Amino acid sequence: MNLIEKAIQIKNQALEALKKVVVPSSLEDFYNQYLAKKGEIPGLMTHMKEAEDKAAYGQTVNATRNEVLDAYMSKKAEMESAKLNAKLKSEVLDITLPGTEEEIGSLNPYWMVIREVEDIFLSMGYEVVKGRDVETDHYNFELLNVPKDHPSRDMQDTFYFSPELLLRTQTSASQAHKMCEMTEKKPIRMISPGKAYRRDDDDMTHSHQFAQIEGLVVDRNISIANLKGTLELFAKKMFGEKREIRLRSSYFPFTEPSVEVDVSCFNCGGKGCAMCKGTGYIEILGAGMVNPKVLEMCGYDPKEWSGFAFGVGVERVAMLRYCIDDIRRIYQNDLRFLKDFK
Amino acid sequence: MKISYKWLQQHVDLTGLTPEDIANKMTFAGAEVESIGRMASGTNLVIGKVLSCVNHPDSDHLHVLQVDEGPVHGVHQIVCGAPNAREGLKVIVARTGAKLPEVEIKPSVIRGVESDGMCCSLLELGVDRKYLSDKQVAGIEELPEDAPVGEENVLGYLGLDDVSLDISVLPNRPDLYAYENVAKEVACICERPLIEEEMREIPVKPSHFRVGSLSAKCPIFTARLITGVKTKPSPTWLSRILENAGIRSINNIVDIGNYVMLLTGQPLNMYDADKLPVRELIVRDDLEMDYVAMDGNSYKIIDGDLVVTSGGQPMCLAGIMTADACKVDERTSNIVVESAYFAGASIRHTSNRIGLSSDSALRFCKGINPHQNEYVQKLTSMLLTDLADAETVGETVVYDVYPHEEKVIKTSLSYINGRLGTSFTKAEVISALTRDHMGIAESGDELIVHVPAYRIDMEGEADVTEEVIRVLGYDNVKSIMPTVTLDLTGLTREQKLENAITTHLRERGLTGVITYTLVSKKETEKFAYLNVAAPYVLTNPMTVEREAVRTNLAHSLLSCASYNAAHQNKDGAIYEVSDIDAPGVASRHLCAVMFGERTYVGDTVRRPYGFYDGKGLLTSIMNILGVQPGRYSLSPWSLGKEEFHPYRSCEIRMGKKLIGVLGEIHPNACKEYMLKNAVVLELDLAALLEIRTSPIKASVPLKYPAVTRDLAFVLLRSVSYEEVKRELLRADALIKGVSVFDIYEGEKVAEGCKSMAVTITMYDPTRTLRDEEIVASTEKAIKALQIKFGAEIRQ
């Protein structure tokens, strides 16, 4: 057997031995036996001077080493990957268990409706103005064209602290505030969400405390057509692109003309159902052109300025939209009820 | 207000229209028809005559009748339980197949006897119980002897084939409390002609009766003395009209008064002339005395109440109720008819004060037409003559200081189109207003509108505009977005911050709630620490539970927690942001309440909410607000706060100002709210939002490495982390940071002590620290803790 044949024999032995390796320690033994500095394959080089054809022998030894080393490396990688897989397998989790983070909190539908209406009007360029619950007779009534002894005070049973101080019966009071506070009379586009109070017994549909969102636009040449355009856009954003609105003549002391605004039923699409009582429309808000007397009392000359105003009942919208059967649920804050409103 | 459709048909040509059509049109024009009611209903009805009536062989109260239902239907056998069933009686028969409001008639066998149809009472036809006598309710209806047998239009024969429209009258249209004005409105809205009636004038005799008013609240008072009237039942047509309006027929005199009020909107009052002390009626408002009204009750009259007097004695609480002393009864033959104008506000005050209302009081309160008293008197006289056999009619005696001026409004086509956003032609506008019974004159571009007297609501151009669009219909208005000049809008800084905070709280698992502003007076004292002031208290609360404006949110939220804990939610975290108003206080608070246990990973990890959960919220809220930790301080209570755990709560101050309270609530408070535990954080959000913060300035990351060392030591429980931290930072200039990473109190350390472990961070921004500097610095830190707190360092 010449040296080259010897080298090939060692290579074959090594490759055969590698196949039998199954545990990391024997892989290490294998390495030490064949590939380490003093292993059998580097040892072949010591026979170089005995070789007849040195170049051929050198090539053979190198090839042998490379082949065995490659085989060893891939065996090693294979074993490491098997080991890692075994470890990962041992780390198996029950992915159906809950996550570490707590659930996020809910938001009372009352606030959800206010947020949504605010967003719609903010994107139309309105500002959000906050009024206060405790209000004077002057702002709640007088400036809104409801003088003392006005018949429409019968419509609103008011909570009083004194003859001049009361809990506001409508968010419209913030209209008067805004107009009066404009030292320089400029156009106004505002909404004002807030609480209002009336001496109603609490039942399924009445609440002594409730919320409204007041809207007011004052500018030169504002018309009912502008009111209709604005509220139609609002209805589409709030209740769906297919919604239509219709106006019915009505009465509010602070607007003239006054209208009730109906939105085509978002439950049945206008065909008539239990929600709209078969009419295809749902009464959603009251509105009108700001009464010239109100403009005048608040410092806007009705010959130069005109405006429209509207008021949305927050709970009514929430109840219709989320199918809430009883207004008291909103104020009860039962967490089992609120949990759905994320 | 209910109105008979039949009456309406007699006054407006409604051919081809149904009550539903009219209801729909009226509703869009601002006179909403809330419901359409039928007086009675029933199909397959016929008038029959009882030919024979024998007792049922197998019953002690049933009868077996042979009923003649006329030539078309023949004779049928009917088993009937009515006690008044008898031979010869004319009856209403509901034939087999008839549909009545409550029942459908089918052929049946009653205790072995065949029965084909049913004899009815009016109650069974749906007539309201209140219009029926006890006799009518107990048995079947007894028709007059001349009732036509075989007549199928039974409801028509009875005058019950009518429906009533129930109109919701808005405060600006009190004129619609008068049928005559409703007819005008319907004629206008439905574009149908009115059917005018000529009124028969009754000749009048001179009168010595005197009237007057000593009060400005009664500018008009008219009266007529009418003699020889006879009280008797009203004719059916009159009873039916009243019943359709919801008013029970009493007798002809009373009914005429109500009928005239329904027609004209003008309340009448009638006095028994012979019971008046003197032949005069004077209105005053300066009496103070007890008053017995015709309902038999005694009421107190006070200064300011309008009273109609005769010889100084009160004869009528004006517009509300006649005195018992002069009321009209069956024996009355001479009457005084009053038609007057009383100021609505005055009537309302009196009516509200004594808790007595009536149809007339309602009309005065809403406002009546002051220009029609003579017409009303004439109409009443005619009816009293026709229906109550009045012998003589005295002329109208009048007190009238009312300025009877015609109302004229000047406007223009351009104003109307401008406010409506429409492009109506002048002809369209004039035609609409004319239909609406307005008189129109033109002067150049101006439209001069003459308002009819009954439209007391019309005041200016805006009202005319409303009339135009009400009549022409809102469908003529297009949708046009307003054109605006662009301007900076959007939420204010404060609104944005508030939204950011509440959004954060929800992300932290807290739920946003809304609770009531009104609480009991006692409740305003609970948890009242911030913005302390006496609360606003209502002068007219509905209940003591809701008589004052809350002074804080903690109590409301704890009550909400309490409700939830009692309803299967013993763990929860809630917050609310709300204005807080009190005399001298107009603030806005944010409050969070956490109760029960906080859970992680489902329910696998649970621990009770505690002080540090609240403090964690406070820290993140301050982060959002951009308030640096050094700008506010937490300190133990400076005052006794019995609702909080004395050692697990604190006040939060900025400088000297109290801006919040934080803590676990006292076990006694827990008991009161029926909670196991709860943490409260209430902040004066308005004050916090006012804080100006400096803009963010970026810091440069350290160039040289910072070095950290951990120190663990045992010291007295009373020493706070804050004190430790301050001491460590002071110990050496290289120590730039301290953070705690472990706290232990328990068996392994001596009683009254705790073990604390902190990491100190050292660096010099100009160079890398050398080992010996680090050692020296750490030594200084240890020494400082030993000297200052007697801390025992654990190696």
Query: Do residues B652 and B577 both lie within one domain?
Result: yes
Which chain B residues are within 8 Å of A110, Cβ to Cβ? 514
Query: Do residues A52 and A115 both lie within one domain?
Result: no
Query: Do residues B216 and B351 both lie within one domain?
Result: yes
| Chain A touched by B510 (CB under 8 Å) | yes
How many domains, in total, are found in chain A? 2
Query: Do residues A289 and A327 both lie within one domain?
Result: yes
pLDDT at B661: 94
111-130 in chain A: CB under 8 A from chain B: 111, 122, 125-128, 130
| Chain B touched by A236 (CB under 8 Å) | no
Query: Do residues A37 and A172 both lie within one domain?
Result: no
528-547 in chain B: CB under 8 A from chain A: 536-542, 546
Which residue of chain A has the CA closest to B470?
A249
In a domain, A103, yes or no: no
Query: Do residues A7 and A119 both lie within one domain?
Result: no
| Chain B touched by A331 (CB under 8 Å) | yes
Cα separation of A160 and A82, whole Å?
81
Which residue of chain B has the CA closest to A255?
B462
Q: What mean pLDDT is predicted for residues A63-83?
A: 89
Cα separation of B383 and B379, whole Å?
6
Range of the domain at A148: 109-338
Query: Do residues A174 and A43 both lie within one domain?
Result: no
Which residue of chain A has the CA closest to B348?
A149
Query: Do residues A144 and A257 both lie within one domain?
Result: yes
Query: Do residues B425 and B549 both lie within one domain?
Result: no
Read out DSSP for B104-118? B---EEETTEEE-SE
The CA-atom distances, in angstroms, between B482 and each of A187, A308, A323, B491, B670 are 12, 11, 33, 21, 56
Query: Do residues B515 and B641 both lie within one domain?
Result: yes
List, for residues B264-316, the tens digit of each pLDDT value.
999 999 999 999 999 999 999 999 999 999 989 999 999 999 999 999 999 99
Nearest neighbour of B481 by CB, restricted to A226, A246, A334: A226
The band of A38, judged by pLDDT with boundaries at 50, 70 and 90, is confident
pLDDT at A4: 81
| Beta strands at B633-635 and B644-654: parallel, antiparallel or unpaired | antiparallel
B345 and A223: CB-CB below 8 Å? no
Query: Do residues B540 and B653 both lie within one domain?
Result: yes
| Chain B touched by A161 (CB under 8 Å) | yes
B574 and A333: CB-CB below 8 Å? yes
How many domains, in total, are found in chain B? 6
Burial category of A104 from C-beta neighbours within 10 Å (exposed 0-12, middle 13-18, buried 19 and up): middle
Q: Chain A: nearest CA to B126, how far in angstroms?
A: 24
Q: Which of A31, A62, A90 is the last residue of a domain?
A: A90
Backbone dihedral angles phi then psi of residue B522, each to the nearest 5 degrees: -60, -40
In a domain, B422, yes or no: yes
Q: Which of A90, A124, A148 is the last residue of a domain?
A: A90
B481 and A224: CB-CB below 8 Å? no
Read out DSSP for A87-131? HHHHT---TTSPPSSPPPP-B-HHHHHHHHHHHHHHHTT-EE---
Nearest to B391 by CA among B328, B339, B334: B334
Say which CATH number the domain at B55 has.
2.40.50.140
Query: Do residues B546 and B647 both lie within one domain?
Result: yes
Kindly give the residue spans of alpha helices, DSSP state H, lying in A194-272: 224-239
| Chain A touched by B240 (CB under 8 Å) | no
Cα separation of B775 and B792, whole Å?
18
In a domain, B196, yes or no: no
pLDDT at B639: 67
Cα separation of B781 and B775, whole Å?
10
Is the ipTM beyond the 0.90 threshold?
no
pLDDT at B602: 75
Nearest to B758 by CA among B733, B794, B787: B794
Say which CATH number the domain at B596 has.
3.30.930.10
Say which CATH number the domain at A332 has.
3.30.930.10
A229 and B479: CB-CB below 8 Å? yes
Which chain A residues are within 8 Å of B572, Cβ to Cβ? 335
In this structure, is the dihedral angle defined by the CA atoms of residues A179, A181, A187 and A190, taken in order, positive or negative? negative
- DSSP label of B99: B
Query: Do residues A153 and A288 both lie within one domain?
Result: yes
Q: How far is CA B637 from the centre of its chain?
A: 45
Three-class DSSP category at B96: coil
Which chain A residues are within 8 Å of B604, Cβ to Cβ? 97-98
A306's CB contacts (< 8 A; 6+ apart) are A218, A219, A220, A221, A222, A223, A289, A290, A292, A295, B418, B419
Question: Do B679 and B594 touch, CB atoms closer than 8 A?
Answer: yes
Q: What mean pLDDT is predicted for residues A106-125?
A: 95
| Beta strands at B335-341 and B268-272: parallel, antiparallel or unpaired | antiparallel
| Chain B touched by A330 (CB under 8 Å) | yes
Q: Chain A: nearest CA to B131, how far in angstroms?
A: 30
- DSSP label of B447: E
Query: Do residues B750 and B601 both lie within one domain?
Result: no
| Chain B touched by A110 (CB under 8 Å) | yes
Query: Do residues B763 and B683 both lie within one domain?
Result: no
Cα separation of B471 and B455, whole Å?
15
CA-based diameter of chain A, in Å? Answer: 131
pLDDT at A214: 95
Query: Do residues B59 and B72 both lie within one domain?
Result: yes
A257 and B509: CB-CB below 8 Å? no
| Chain A touched by B470 (CB under 8 Å) | yes
Q: Give the H or E element holding residue B785.
A: helix B771-789
Q: Which of B336, B371, B400 is the last residue of a domain?
A: B400
Query: Do residues B418 and B529 both lie within one domain?
Result: no
| Beta strands at B511-512 and B572-582: parallel, antiparallel or unpaired | parallel
A122 and B490: CB-CB below 8 Å? yes
In a domain, B695, yes or no: no
Question: Do B465 and B420 touch, CB atoms closer than 8 A?
Answer: yes
How many A/B residue pairs have CB atoms within 8 Å?
Answer: 238
Range with lowest mean pLDDT among A104-118, A177-191, B131-145, B555-569: B131-145
Q: Which of B385, B400, B415 is the last residue of a domain?
A: B400
Range of the domain at B73: 45-158
Query: Do residues A132 and A19 both lie within one domain?
Result: no
| Beta strands at B307-310 and B280-284: parallel, antiparallel or unpaired | antiparallel
Read out DSSP for B518-582? EE-TGGGGTT--SS--PPPB-SS-SSGGG-EE-S-SHHHHHHHHHHHHTTT--SEEEEEEEEEEE
B744 strand-pairing partners: B755
Say which CATH number the domain at B778 has.
3.30.70.380
Q: Chain A: nearest CA to B132, how far in angstroms?
A: 33
Which chain A residues are within 8 Å of B575, Cβ to Cβ? 105
How much is the pTM?
0.84
Nearest to A134 by CA among A167, A173, A177: A167
A145's CB contacts (< 8 A; 6+ apart) are A253, A254, A291, A293, A294, A297
Which chain A residues are within 8 Å of B574, Cβ to Cβ? 105, 333, 335
Query: Do residues A209 and A323 both lie within one domain?
Result: yes
In a domain, A84, yes or no: yes
Q: Which of A90, A125, A159 is the last residue of a domain?
A: A90
Burial category of B406 from C-beta neighbours within 10 Å (exposed 0-12, middle 13-18, buried 19 and up): exposed
Cα separation of B70 and B93, whole Å?
11
Query: Do residues B49 and B35 both lie within one domain?
Result: no
Query: Do residues A127 and A270 both lie within one domain?
Result: yes
In a domain, B606, yes or no: yes
Query: Do residues B572 and B663 both lie within one domain?
Result: yes
Read out DSSP for B630-699? GG-EEE--SS--TTEEEEEEEEEEETTEEEEEEEEEPHHHHHHHT-S-EEEEEEEHHHHHH---PPP-PP
List, for residues B693-738, the tens digit of each pLDDT value.
888 888 888 889 899 999 999 999 989 999 999 999 999 999 999 9
In a domain, B484, yes or no: no
pLDDT at A10: 84
The band of A313, judged by pLDDT with boundaries at 50, 70 and 90, is very high
In a domain, A67, yes or no: yes
191-230 in chain A: CB under 8 A from chain B: 195, 197, 199, 201, 208-209, 211, 217, 219, 221-226, 228-230
B166's CB contacts (< 8 A; 6+ apart) are B1, B2, B33, B34, B35, B36, B37
Say which CATH number the domain at B244 has.
3.50.40.10
Q: Chain B: nearest CA to A69, how far in angstroms?
A: 43
Question: Do A104 and B506 touch, CB atoms closer than 8 A?
Answer: yes
Which chain A residues are within 8 Å of B598, Cβ to Cβ? 102
Q: Which of A94, A126, A157, A159 best probes binding to B when mutated, by most B CB atoms within 10 angstroms?
A: A159
Q: Chain A: nearest CA to B526, how far in angstroms?
A: 20
Which residue of chain A has the CA closest to B542?
A199
B43's CB contacts (< 8 A; 6+ apart) are B97, B98, B99
The band of A152, judged by pLDDT with boundaries at 50, 70 and 90, is low
Query: Do residues A138 and A209 both lie within one domain?
Result: yes
The band of A1, judged by pLDDT with boundaries at 50, 70 and 90, is low
pLDDT at B678: 96
pLDDT at A44: 81
In a domain, A213, yes or no: yes
pLDDT at B203: 92
Kindly give the residue spans of alpha helices, DSSP state H, lying in chain A: 3-20, 24-30, 40-44, 54-90, 109-123, 137-140, 173-181, 224-239, 292-297, 314-322, 328-332, 335-338
Question: Do B343 and B239 touch, CB atoms closer than 8 A?
Answer: no
| Chain A touched by B345 (CB under 8 Å) | yes
Three-class DSSP category at B583: coil
Q: Which of B483, B538, B609 best probes binding to A when mutated, by most A CB atoms within 10 angstroms?
A: B538
| Chain A touched by B563 (CB under 8 Å) | yes
Query: Do residues A33 and A138 both lie within one domain?
Result: no
Which stretches of chain B score pLDDT less than 70?
A: 639-641, 795
A336 and B567: CB-CB below 8 Å? yes
List, for residues A215-274, the tens digit of each pLDDT value.
999 999 999 999 999 999 999 999 989 999 999 999 999 999 999 999 998 888 888 888
pLDDT at A89: 92
